[in-house]
Structure 1
Amino acid sequence: MVRNPLTDDERHRGLVLGRLLQQARGARSAAAVAFEAGISLDTLRKIERGAIATPAFFTVAALARVLGLNLSDLAESVAEDKKRAAGRVA
């Protein structure tokens, strides 16, 4: 199966999501968070740096649970960043 290339918006959302998750992790080790969420450390690192721009929903949900984040608030934060970016461009 061939995946369609990611759009610039999708790549940007991935970077924003990764940054938000990394900020929420704070001083906790990436290894501890990944273990508690049931994902590999490599996957968490890729999400945090935006290399996985569209992580699976259940992966994001597991990370949100471990980090004490509300999924709706997380989605809203990503959307707000897009609005701010659009305001700078327009």
Structure 2
Amino acid sequence: MKTEIVSAHECAKAIRLLRDGEVVALPTETVYGLAADALNPDAVTKIFEAKERPRFDPLIVHLPSGEALDEIAIVESQVAHKLMEKF
């Protein structure tokens, strides 16, 4: 896949859209991924609708670190904590 550098203006637009609860398409090595604010229920609904995905089929949430997980979930598993520390 050809790497394309986007302008600061384009990045700012994507950030603004995400903050406004919109969905943004992001290219990956193989497909386009859909991004939205995982803490915004309306934005998450838009992804389910765009993908025609059933509600029981979960979405992936990407976080910058294991510590960030503590802000959105309770993880009681020591194995999970050890994996986060390792990777």
Answer yes or no: same fold by TM over 0.5.
no
Task: Tell which structure's C-alpha radius of gyration is larger.
Answer: 2
Which has a greater percent of helix? 1
Which has a greater percent of strand? 2
TM-score norm. by structure 2 comes to 0.32
TM-score norm. by structure 1 comes to 0.31
User: Which protein, 1 or 2, shows the higher relative CO under an 8 Å CA cutoff with sep ≥ 6?
Assistant: 1
